[in-house]
Structure 1
Amino acid sequence: MNTKILFAASLIAVFTIGMYAENAVAFAQYMGNVGSEGQTGSYTLEEALEIQARRIAAAEANPSSGSGTPYLDASGVVGAAVIAGAVFGGIAGAFFLRGRSGKYAAMGRG
C-alpha cells in the first residue's frame, strides 16, 4: 500500500476521532439532592459530613463487616485472578504441548 495514502488516512482518523471526542466528555456526577418532582437542591458540607459520620459509626458498630470487597469470592479479586490464570494457563499449556510435535518442531526434541 502506498505510504502516503496510509499516512493521510491515519491523520484523517486521528483528527476525526479528536473532533468527536470533544462531544463525549464525561462530567463528574452532580452532587445534589433530588426532590420528588425531579428538582435538584444543594449538597451542603454539613450534609456530607453527617453522611460520612453515619458511615463511620456504622462501620465501627459492625467491625466484622469489613470493607465490602470480596477478596476470596469467585467474583472478588483473588477469585477472578485464579479463574483468569486457570483459563489462560490452560490455553498456554495447550499451545506448549501442541508446539512440541508437528511439522515445524525441531528435530530431536520430540
Structure 2
Amino acid sequence: MNTKVLLTATMLSVFFFGAIGAASVAFAQYMGNVGDAGETGSYTLEEALEIQRRRIEAAEANPSSGSGTPYLDASGVVGAAVIAGAVFGGIAGAFLIRGRSGKYAAMGRG
C-alpha cells in the first residue's frame, strides 16, 4: 500500500476520533433532574451540603475508619507498588541471570 495514503488515513482518523472525544466532555457535576425552567430537581445544593455534613460527622465519630484508602493492603497503593516491583524485579533478575551465561556472553566473564 502507498505510504502517503496510509499516513493520510491514519492522521485523518486521529483527528476525527479526537474531535468526537472532545464533544463528550462533561463540564459540571450532575445535580439531579433539570427541568424546563432550569431548576435542579430533587437533589438541590442544600441537600448536597446536608449529605456532606453527615459524611463528615460519620468520619469524626469513627476515627479508626480512616480515609477509606487501603495503603498497606494488597489492593492499595503500597501493596500494588510492592507487587508490581516484585513482578518486574523478578523479570529483570531473570534477564540478568540469563544474560550472564550462554552463547553470546563475553569470553572470560562467566
Aligned to 2:52: 52
Q: Do the aligned residues in 1 keep the contact of 2:31 with 2:44 (CA within 8 Å)?
A: no
Aligned to 2:77: 77
Structure 2 residue runs of 5 or longer lacking an equivalent are 34-39
Structure 1 residue runs of 5 or longer lacking an equivalent are 34-39
- Please say which of residues 8-17 and 98-107 is displaced more in the overlay: 8-17
Aligned to 1:13: 13
Residues 11/30 of structure 1: CA separation in 2 closer, same or farther (3 Å cut): same
Q: Do the aligned residues in 1 keep the contact of 2:59 with 2:65 (CA within 8 Å)?
A: yes
TM normalised by structure 2 equals 0.75
Runs of 4+ in 1 over 4 A off after TM superposition: none
Aligned to 1:61: 61
| Deviation readout 1:23-70 (Å, 9 max, x if unpaired) | 6x253663217xxxxxx9342111111111101111111111100111
TM normalised by structure 1 equals 0.75
| Cα root mean square deviation, aligned | 2.5
Looking at structure 2, the residues matched to 20 and 26 of structure 1 have their Cα atoms a distance apart, in angstroms, of 10
Looking at structure 1, the residues matched to 51 and 12 of structure 2 have their Cα atoms a distance apart, in angstroms, of 50
Residues 55/19 of structure 1: CA separation in 2 closer, same or farther (3 Å cut): closer
Kindly tell me the number of residue pairs found equivalent between the two proteins: 103
Residues 45/16 of structure 1: CA separation in 2 closer, same or farther (3 Å cut): closer
The letter for the 2-side match of 1:43 is Y
Residues 72/65 of structure 1: CA separation in 2 closer, same or farther (3 Å cut): same
